[in-house]
Structure 1
Amino acid sequence: MKKLVENELILKPIRFRDKAQWDAVRSVNRDWLSPWEATRPNIDSKSPLPSYYGMVMQLNREIRAVRSIALGIWLKENRNEILIGQITLGGIIFGAMRGAHIGYWIDQRFANQGYTTRSVKLLTKFGFDSLKLHRIEINLRPENEASKQVAIKAGYELEGARKNYLHIAGDWRNHITFVKENPAVK
């Protein structure tokens, strides 16, 4: 996977050399992201999280296997690229389902400027056009109004609710599911 580009917006895999930028963005946004971030239930919390380098190696393995495509969200300014978030097309399933889900986070300094919505649209187009997926979901907490607006503006429709769906911020949380289907896949 090389990269997806729309004007100044670039989606591309995170590399080892991006560690300083990734660490800086994650550090500045720790409090902003923590209410929405996936956590591990107690049953999984004994094994340590991977290092940054371990994370990048795992993300690359998942991309090569076409199971999950995690990309940094970058803005090109002059000759520089600035990391402003991350987006993942995960849980990719082919065969009779041909589906996946999208998750994302954005640097608070770049929130409410359309970058997340544009990133979702770009990755959805890739999933539909290149992977020929039939259905992509966005699952989000009902109280996350900003994320709800991203899903709606990206053309996703509310499908329903999922009780205790994901472990977020230390507990099992209810989610609502937005869906977009690919009319070209019959």
Structure 2
Amino acid sequence: MATGWPVTLVDGPVRLRPLRRRDGQAWLALRTANADWLEPWDATSPVPVDRPRPTFGAFVRLLAAQAREGQTLPFAVDLHGELVGQVTVSSITYGSLRSASIGYWVSRHVAGRGIIPTAVALAVDHCFQVLELHRVEINIRPENEPSLRVVQKLGFRDEGVRERYLHIRGQWCDHRSFALTAEEVPEGLLHRYHTS
């Protein structure tokens, strides 16, 4: 198994844990109920895909294999034991870069309650303190106000616009890139979030 995986991270009622196949029904129900809230930001393939979409089980197996290889950390986000979203640490790179990217989503019915800032802070601290990464970045569409509030609350540094960065709903879309290095949060991001 990769360093630091599997792991469960907890702060109050917010818990990050590995995404599991048995989450399928709840995960699919959340994604369906929140389709209009989430789909404007979901990445799509620029190349036509002429095969069926993978099942949830296949999706989780792929993420689990990537986690075992140390490439990805696919976290379910629970609130009081109920699945409410997902945080994924991806593009984990070691060597001289020691970096990763974080993506996240949360159900609209719990948005704005500090769940995702807490979850992202837990994931960042795990990346810095356990995986010993140096830099974490988050890329957000400029018009995605709820996601922009997350990085603002956490004090991520705005590094500018990446033009035509990601394919979403049939077009290449600009994203703003935000980053944080380990030196910026010596006591941990969760600590800084709670004391700011």
Partner of 1:119: 119
What's the % identity of the aligned pairs? 39
SS class of match (1:172): strand
SS class of match (2:53): coil
1:61 matched to 2:65? The reply is yes
Out of 51, 55, 60, the residue aligned to residue 51 of structure 1 is 55
Partner of 1:5: 10
Paired with 1:100 and 1:123, the residues of 2 have a C-alpha distance of 11
Partner of 2:132: 132
Partner of 2:190: none
Partner of 2:20: 15
Structure 2 unmatched runs, 5+: 1-5, 187-196
Q: CA deviation at 1:117?
A: 0.7
Q: CA deviation at 1:18?
A: 1.3
Q: TM-score of the superposition, structure 2-length normalised?
A: 0.88
Structure 1 unmatched runs, 5+: none
Paired with 1:26 and 1:108, the residues of 2 have a C-alpha distance of 10
Q: Which amino acid aligns with 1:34?
A: E
Paired with 1:150 and 1:114, the residues of 2 have a C-alpha distance of 8
Partner of 1:145: 145
Q: TM-score of the superposition, structure 1-length normalised?
A: 0.93
Paired with 2:85 and 2:97, the residues of 1 have a C-alpha distance of 29
Q: CA deviation at 1:179?
A: 0.5
Partner of 1:159: 159
Paired with 1:169 and 1:74, the residues of 2 have a C-alpha distance of 28
Q: CA deviation at 1:32?
A: 0.9
Partner of 1:176: 176
Q: State the Cα RMSD in Å.
A: 1.1
SS class of match (1:48): coil
Q: How many residues align?
A: 179
CA-to-aligned-CA distance 1:115-148 (integer Å, 9 cap, x gap): 0111111100000000111100000001111111
Partner of 1:110: 110
Q: Which amino acid aligns with 2:136?
A: I
